[in-house]
Homo-oligomer: A and B are copies of this chain.
Amino acid sequence: GLTTFANLPYVHCLSAEKNVDSFDIAFLGAPFDTGVTARPGARFGPTGIRWGSRRLDKDMGDSIYTGQNPLADWAKVVDCGDAPLTFLDNTIALKQLDKAHEVISSRTTNSSDYTVPRIITLGGDHTTTLSALRSTFHHWGPVSVLHFDSHIDTWDPAVLGGGISHYAGVNHGTFLHLAHEEGLIRNTSSHAGIRAPVKYSSDVKNDKRCGFDIVTARDMDKLGVTGVIEKLKAHVKGTRVYVSVDIDVLDPAFAPATGTAEPGGWSTRELLTVLDGLEGIEIVGGDVGWFLLFARSTCSS
């Protein structure tokens, strides 16, 4: 066979065929990295994620902490492969990704409890989350975003890239601002792990306006993992949630292969404990991305 995420079955979700195998949760690769201000390479991220997951298997997949197996629970989980995205025009690429989300989320579910399959996007640069939020909005209405990142990503396009052109304004630092402008997200959202520099007064003010509460990286030292979990869960106030993990939320020691490494971040033990702690909220979509395939070193471009 070929390498799929966690050795999950591959389903031709994006094919023109009307009927494909049903599923409840689909992994979808988004090979895209031309919306970035820094180091590119995330176009190869989905391949890197799949390769890195090659020892995962639902046949030996119970957590030692919870006894639960996320790959063999109520949901049938599959890999839909990569969306076909051009590297040469961001506007077109995002439309291609919108289309992929639309096709997959319109497929038949396996479980009888839900009629809409959920999607976990494998990035790719963070701009791709805009596409996922549009798709989520279409099926589930506005959502709270739990955004794990070292950056706020609500920059005003006029500040980050966009003074130059409208085209330049749609990027991995502005997509949450744009999601807010499009009405896709709720003001019960949170960032977690924030530590990158900002223009304090204007950026943080705009961030609040976009609906976000901030948990900084160093808040982990004050609140502990339990406190962080409680704060994040309380803030969504029972709404539906989209979980977006920018891998740069981790300290570069733990995730060196990213394009905007920021020192002073969380460890994998901290992040995974927080993610496990989210149990109980209603998650309707998510993503993880901003990996540079296989590149551990800050010296590689």
A-side residues, CB < 8 A to B, are 1-4, 10, 14, 33-45, 47-48, 50-52, 55-56, 59-65, 67, 69, 79, 81-82, 84, 86-89, 91-92, 161, 164-165, 167-169, 171, 194-200, 203-204, 214, 216-218, 220-221, 225, 251-254, 256-257, 260, 263-265, 267-269, 272-273, 292-301
Contact = CB atoms under 8 A, between A and B. Distances in A.
Given A62-B197, A221-B225, A252-B268, 10 more contacts: A3-B47, A33-B40, A56-B197, A59-B199, A64-B214, A88-B161, A91-B167, A221-B273, A267-B267, A294-B301
B225 A273 contact: no
10 contacts: A41-B41, A61-B197, A62-B198, A64-B198, A64-B204, A88-B161, A88-B165, A89-B164, A294-B294, A297-B300
A200 to B, nearest CB: 4
A252 B250 CA distance: 13
Q: How many copies does the complex hold?
A: 6
Contacts of A214: 64
Contact of A3 (B2, B52, B272): B2
Overall SS of chain A's interface: loop
Contact of A296 (B39, B40, B297): B297
Contacts of A263: 254, 268-269, 272
Contacts of A92: 164-165, 167-168
Contacts of A225: 221
A161 B203 CA distance: 37
Residue from A52, A61, A297 whose CB has the most chain B CB atoms within 10 Å: A297
B251 A268 contact: yes
A114 B256 CA distance: 41
A64 B195 contact: yes
Contacts of A52: 298
A9 to B, nearest CB: 11
A88 B197 contact: no
Contact of A264 (B81, B84, B269): B269
B88 A171 contact: yes
Contact of A197 (B60, B87, B251): B60
A55 B39 CA distance: 10
